[in-house]
Amino acid sequence: MSFFRQNAPLFSAVGAGAVLCYMYWRMTARILRELENLHLQELENLRGVVQQLQNIQSQIDQLHHKVDRVSKRRRGPGSGFFSIATSSGEEEDDVYEEAYGGSDFDPLQEIALQEVEDQIIVPTQEQDTESSVQHPGTELFAAVDQLVEGTDLDKQKAFDLLQNKQGKFSNDPEYFWRLSKSTYQVSQIIGAEGDTEKKKKYMYDANSYAETALNLDESCANAHKWFAITIGSVGEFEGTQQKIQNGFKYKEHIEKAIGINPTDPSNHYLLGRWCYSVYMLSWIERKAAATLFATPPSATIDETLTHFLKASIAGNRS
């Protein structure tokens, strides 16, 4: 007993140390378990975030694929900032404005835009601005308006009819906007056959005819529309700076066409396509535009949808 009494302080210290070690071990084990649980939770959260990012990337890839398919179908060689590609202005898929690809778009907004665009009704032909008066070219224009809706051969016939009557209607804006439209159609036919130089000549001729129509009558909505379409199209053969300048002119004249004839769905549709193309410009393209112009072009997805909705409403009323 004397041994234990003599060493009581030692045994007390050892016991206290053992208790402290045990408590330390328990606390350490608890902390480690909590850290492990926290790590597993964070790891699970991270996996969830990664999965969400993968899903978003998949959606973006699908949308890019759709945009690429549309671009390949619609955009010809050399197209770029504000280039117009249209065969006649009648069918929905044939009337649009397109800038080359972009980034930074919301998949939900892209889907919404596609859903709205699918509902748009574009008129099959433009209306005369002097419908209340018997026009000297009524019969010719009626024949041409029907032919431009037909085959490539019909469109060539329309062009020949108009060319043969140029002397008779040298001061007629109704004649010249039709000649602009018909010449543009022929330029597309020639381009499809591979004759780029001849296509270029016809395209510039089409723009010149539309400009003549405007000089004769600035209140002619169709003259403004076809000047816009052709000024955008010649951008295929011009540099970036000129393309951007043409883009401003395009927007200006489409807006004038809408101001004169707000019931034409194709005008709203064309303006919507312009807004969408500007909205889709990449960061690099926006920077390039900003270095060339004090006020670069700008548009939002809301503006795009608004014009498409107006086109749809106007189309349903026509």
Tens of pLDDT, residues 205-260: 999 999 999 999 999 999 999 999 999 999 889 887 888 888 899 999 999 999 99
pTM of this prediction? 0.63
Q: What angle do CA 51, 56, 62 make, to 5 degrees?
A: 125
Tens of pLDDT, residues 43-87: 565 566 556 556 655 655 555 555 455 444 434 333 444 444 443
Tens of pLDDT, residues 151-190: 999 999 999 999 999 888 989 999 999 999 999 999 999 9
Residue 182 makes CB contacts below 8 A (sequence gap 6+) with 144, 148, 155, 158, 159, 162
Q: Which CATH class is domain 83-317?
A: mainly alpha
CA pair distance 89, 177, nearest whole angstrom? 12
CA pair distance 221, 307, nearest whole angstrom? 17
Q: How far from 188 is each of 228, 287, 318, CA to CA, in Å?
A: 16, 32, 28
